[in-house]
Structure 1
Amino acid sequence: MGKIVISESVSLDGVMQNPTGDEGSRFAGWFDRLSSKDREAWAKVEFEEALSTEALLLGRRTYEWFVARGWASRSDEWADRLRSLPKYVVSSTLADLDWTNSTVLEGDVVNEVSRLKQEVNGDIVVYGSGRLVPTLMEHDLVDELRLIICPIAVGDGERLFGRTSDQKPMRLVDTRTVGDGLVRLTYQPTHRPF
């Protein structure tokens, strides 16, 4: 059975939007303010995660972001690994996918992701996907959260978690220092009261 893993880099105040400045907002590019040592350590952790991943689940915008930045064609170990993975893209508008091993998931997101969890054995990692993640959280489809916290308060922007119909209790299962200034927190849902 597959496990849905949300893997995100967020600011101290929970912002996930526009870390590299591509969207041109006033608070854009906050990830680029990290030291080169921290960015290198971050890349190492992300590559290690890719090696243990069985599939990617992406929203349309995140899929397009990866393709626009050359992940479908660039040649290095990390890109090669992502290219080799099955990629499932939630979209009602995409038809032709340019990244190898990519499949569009059409129809009801909850049903499609539930089916995917039955078909894939291992971690199904979700990067970015700011519209998809809240849907997965709302319908209790998330099995693990891996958050790399960047030491900057952005002040504005789309946050990883929006409104939910109910509380979503989590338990901390791992912490890891990444570089000099980042920390990776791993949580799993719990249905027990605090």
Structure 2
Amino acid sequence: MGKIVISENVSLDGVIQDPTGKEGFRFAGWFDQMEGKDREAWAGVEYEEALGTEALLLGRRTYEWFVARGWASRSGGWADRLRSLPKYVVSSTLEDLDWNNSTVLKGDVVNEVSKLKRKVDGDIVVYGSGRLVPALMEHDLVDELRLMICPFVLGDGERLFGETSDQKPMRLVDTRTVGDGLVLLTYQPVRDA
């Protein structure tokens, strides 16, 4: 049985919007302000995570972000690993996918992701995907949250989570300092709360 793992870079106040500065957000590029040591440590954690991943689940915009930045042809261990993984893209508009091992999931998201969890054995990691993540949370399809907290308070911007129909209790299962300024928090849902 697959495990849906949300892996996000967020500001200290929970903002996920425009971390690399391509969307026109007034605080765009906040993630790229990270110092060199933190950036290297972050990349190490991301590569480690990719090695333990069995598949990627991406929303359309995040998939297009990866493709536009050359991940389909980059070299190096991390890029090679992502290229080799099966990638499932939730989209009602995409037809042809440019990144190898990519499949479009069309139709009801809850049904398609539930089927994917039964099909894949291991971690199914979700990067970015700001519209997909709330839907997965709302329908209790998330098995783990990995939040890389970046030391910036933005005060404005799209947050990882918006409104939900009910509380979603989570249990902290791990904390890890990354570099000098980052913290990786890992949570799992409390299913019987």
After TM superposition, is the score higher than 0.5? yes
Instruction: Provide the residue aligned with 1:28 in structure 2.
Output: 28
Query: Shift of the alpha carbon at 1:34?
Result: 1.2
1:149 lines up with 2:149 in the alignment: yes
Secondary structure of 2:133 counterpart: helix
Structure-2 separation of matches of 1:115 and 1:107? 12
Matches within 5 A, 1:133-172: 133-172=133-172
The answer on whether the counterparts of 2:17 and 2:25 sit within 8 Å (CA) in structure 1 is: no
Matches of 2:191 and 2:7 in 1, distance apart? 21
Whichever residue aligns with residue 26 of structure 2, its letter is R
Q: Provide structure 2 residue ranges, at least 5 long, that are not aligned to the other structure.
A: none
Q: Is this contact kept in 2: 1:53–1:125, CA < 8 A?
A: yes
Identity %: 83
- For the pair 1:19 / 2:19, whether they are aligned, the reply is yes
Is contact 1:173–1:188 with CA below 8 Å preserved after alignment?
yes
Matching residue of 1:183: 183
- Mapping of residues 1-194 of structure 1, within 5 Å: 1-193=1-193
Q: In 1, distance between residues paired with 2:180 and 2:192?
A: 34
Per-residue CA distance 1:147-183 (angstroms, 9 max, x = gap): 0000101121111001000000000000000000000
Q: Specify the SS of the correspondent of 2:116.
A: helix
Aligned partner letter, 2:59 = G
Q: What amino acid does structure 1 have at the position aligned with 2:135?
A: T
Moved more, 18-27 or 42-51: 18-27
Q: CA RMSD in A?
A: 0.7
- How many residues end up aligned between the 2 structures? 193
- Per-residue Cα deviation, 1:111-151 (whole angstroms, up to 9, x for no partner): 00000000000000000000000000000000000000001
Compute the displacement of 1:188 (Å): 0.2
Three-state SS of the structure 2 residue aligned to 1:8 is strand
Structure 2 distance, partners of 1:100, 1:154, is 36
**Contact 1:27/1:155 (8 A) holds in 2:** no
Output the CA distance in 2 between the equivalents of 1:41 and 1:22. Answer: 23
Moved over 3 A (4+): none
Please state how far the C-alpha of 1:22 moved relative to its aligned partner.
1.1
User: Matched residues in 2 for 1:70 and 1:119: separation?
Assistant: 28
- Residue 33 of structure 1 and its aligned partner are, at CA, apart by 1.4
TM-score by length of 1: 0.98
Q: 1:75 Cα deviation (Å)?
A: 1.1
CA distance in structure 1 between the aligned counterparts of 2:12 and 2:133, rounded to whole angstroms: 19
